[in-house]
Amino acid sequence: MNAPAVPAPEWRLRRAGPEDAPALDELIRLSVHGLQSSHYSMAQREAALGPVFGVDHQLIADGTCFVAAAGAKLLAAGGWSRRAARFGGSAGRPDSGPAEWLDPGSAAARIRAFFVHPDWARGGLGRALLARCESEIQAAGFRSAEIVATLAGEPLYAAGGYRVTARTTIALPNGLSLPVVHMVSAWSIRPAETSARPG
């Protein structure tokens, strides 16, 4: 039951580049319709594609978006951010410039934009991406991380030790809304531990 529907080909994690945007867009659409259908209606999914579920070009430009790739094929994607935006693709934000930087000493880093191809769900890709993000988050000096998770994504983060802090909704066009879950990391680095790090 925990095995992927199709054996995953040999893959590696790498940073996403601007040239990956078209493949990311397709991966997101396949993931949303393939893995979110038991939690959200077709109308909700279609309304959320773009503004909520979409490629975040700022995340790519910041170098904090990763993909699990088998050659040219993207099997999964996920990232983190040191900016204030909590979710959404570039299409969902006003063109007023990048969101402001977060202070690692007082704010939580954002876990962002996790999508897995339905054919390779439950095969460890999400866990590998989350571990990579957490490693970079801690190296950047952040003491904790938070995420606005979908209902389908909640089990992944819960298994990684994230706890639910609130259940809420995101407003969508045509009067629709998308139930989501705010979660925070169970790990927390005290200021003394952060300052004691070499370098």
184 CB-near residues (< 8 Å, 6+ apart): 108, 144, 145, 146, 147, 162, 163, 165
Domain-embedded: residue 6: no
Per-residue pLDDT, 96: 52
The band of 7, judged by pLDDT with boundaries at 50, 70 and 90, is low
Is the distance from CB of 109 to CB of 102 less than 8 angstroms?
A: yes
Residue 158: give its domain's CATH number. Answer: 3.40.630.30
Q: Which residue has the tokens 């809420």?
A: 168
Measured CA to CA, the distance from residue 40 to residue 90 in angstroms comes to 22
Domain-embedded: residue 1: no
143 is written with which tokens?
């003491």
Range of the structural domain that residue 139 is part of: 12-195
Among the residue ranges 53-57, 105-109, 190-194, the one predicted with the least confidence is 190-194
pTM of the model: 0.87
Domain-embedded: residue 3: no
Average pLDDT estimate for 91-109: 78
Domain-embedded: residue 46: yes
- What tens digit of pLDDT does each residue of 37-86 get? 999 999 999 999 998 999 999 999 999 999 999 998 999 999 999 999 88
